[in-house]
Amino acid sequence: MINPISGFSRLSKEEKIEWLSKTYLANNKKAREILTQYWNSNSSLQQLHEEFTENTLTNYYLPFGLAPNFLINNQLYAIPMAIEESSVIAAASKAAKFWGSRGGFKAEVLGTQKIGQVHFMYSGDREKLQYFFKKVKPQLLEAVTPLTRNMEKRGGGVVNIELRDKTDLLVNYHQLHCTFETKDSMGANFINSCLERFAETFQAEAKSHEAFDASEKEIEIVMSILSNYVPDCIVRAEVSCPVTELADHGMSGEDFAAKFVRALKIAEAEPHRAVTHNKGIMNGIDAVVLATGNDFRAVEAGIHAYASKDGRYTSLSHVDVRDGRFRFWMEIPMALGTVGGLTGLHPLSKIALEILQKPSAEDLMKIVAVTGLAQNFAAVKSLITTGIQQGHMKMHLMNILNQLQATVHEKEVLVNHFKTNKVSHSAVEEQFNKLRN
């Protein structure tokens, strides 16, 4: 039986690993070797990584790759991507090449406002609450002046505060629904700080409001927190070309377009397909968000919520063929930053932003959305032509060979063999065994 440990956070990294190895890991020596071999030999860089989070044991590496030749709004980009999945970067690069000769990607930001909410309970007269809110709103804005001063200099700040009655959803539940503009910062800390100040002021002023009776003065603040659902922080990415330029794999452009449209219509209609369809979009989006030090979990949550905004989960991307022209596009919510947080701390995130020519938050939104659309186009194109496994498994070949512990020579022989043969795990294993025997 394993007993709880007290004071784990106060142990040194070495002591944490020693305890972990003895308590949970069968091969103590091997586990310690693996954990310690990922430490960075540069002590200051290692300390920086350890201070990103708590109870750090080691560093967890992901490949940091590059997808070149993205033509976005007539500007050429090489896009850094941090991802472990085979074929994602290759597919994005292939889509970039395809569309680069057809006018490239067009992208625009349609809105940048973000949301935060103060959730509270109030059981009194609703008209009194409305009157109180109108009276106290200027004081709420005044209370956050020390927090908003610098943000306002950059063109951001608090856009609006609304009182929303949510008692149809939950008894006595109301909220202050607050809109913010945070410019090049993702703004989570700024928004949360403002919300907590709103809550303190709102609650304190209620206690002395002359129109409230004793029970109404006791407004209960439940929580104050930003929302990662940002339906007013929207970016649009699009490609288009004459249908005739889509001819591929022996298909005419018209046939390719018709099959592509059917594939998208299925993703729009069938949630099981839509989830996988959108996951392919997120392969591209997450990889760039992660490489630039942004919060990919927040982006994921907000985008998938947006895919359900009409009451049913559906495709994020859409296609239209009209007057001989193929048009493929996507509109998604996304709150990103290029200053603050990990973007200014992680050395690779700083390099990623430099590779992207030091974009503004709006420019980064465009780049990320385009990468998602490119990834989606490449995936659907594969599905309606060769099938997804042909390209994916060829890129996955090296992972299989590493699992089989193939030598350098064996890898060379087998990679050459599978240039002209279909890749599957069983086929690779069979050829590997033949070669080794």
Cβ-in-10-Å burial (0-12, 13-18, 19+) of 160 comes to exposed
Q: Secondary structure of the chain: what % helix, strand, coil (to 5)? A: 50, 20, 30
User: Is 15 marked active-site?
Assistant: no
β partners of residue 179: 115, 160
Contacts of 118 (CB under 8 A, 6+ apart): 175, 176, 178, 195, 198, 199, 202, 221, 223, 224
Please indicate whether residue 84 is annotated as part of the active site.
no
What single letter denotes the amino acid at residue 60? Y
Contact (Cβ atoms closer than 8 angstroms) between residue 353 and residue 359: yes
**Choosing from 16, 94, 381, 392, which is the catalytic residue?**
392
249 is a catalytic site residue: no
DSSP 341: G
d(CA 136, CA 129): 10
The catalytic position among 279, 318, 411, 417 is 279
Catalytic residue from among 85, 108, 152, 248:
85
Distance CA 192, CA 67 (A): 35
Look up residue 328 and give its DSSP letter.
E
List the alpha helices (DSSP H) in 120-242. Answer: 126-143, 145-153, 188-207
| Cα(437)–Cα(47) distance, integer angstroms | 47
| Cα–Cα distance, 314 to 275 (Å, whole number) | 8
CA distances from 60 to 42, 44, 46, 122, 365 (A): 16, 17, 12, 47, 26
Tell me the C-alpha distance between 170 and 120, whole Å: 11
Give the whole-angstrom CA distance, residue 11 versus residue 197: 36
Check 184, 268, 286, 295 and give the catalytic one: 295
Entry field: residues in the chain = 437
Q: Catalytic residue at 295?
A: yes
Of the candidates 245, 209, 205, 203, the one whose C-alpha atom is nearest the C-alpha of residue 223 is 203
Best CA proximity match to 133, nearest among 193, 215, 216: 216
Judge whether 178 and 161 are in contact, CB under 8 Å.
yes
Task: Tell me the catalytic residues.
Answer: 85, 279, 295, 392
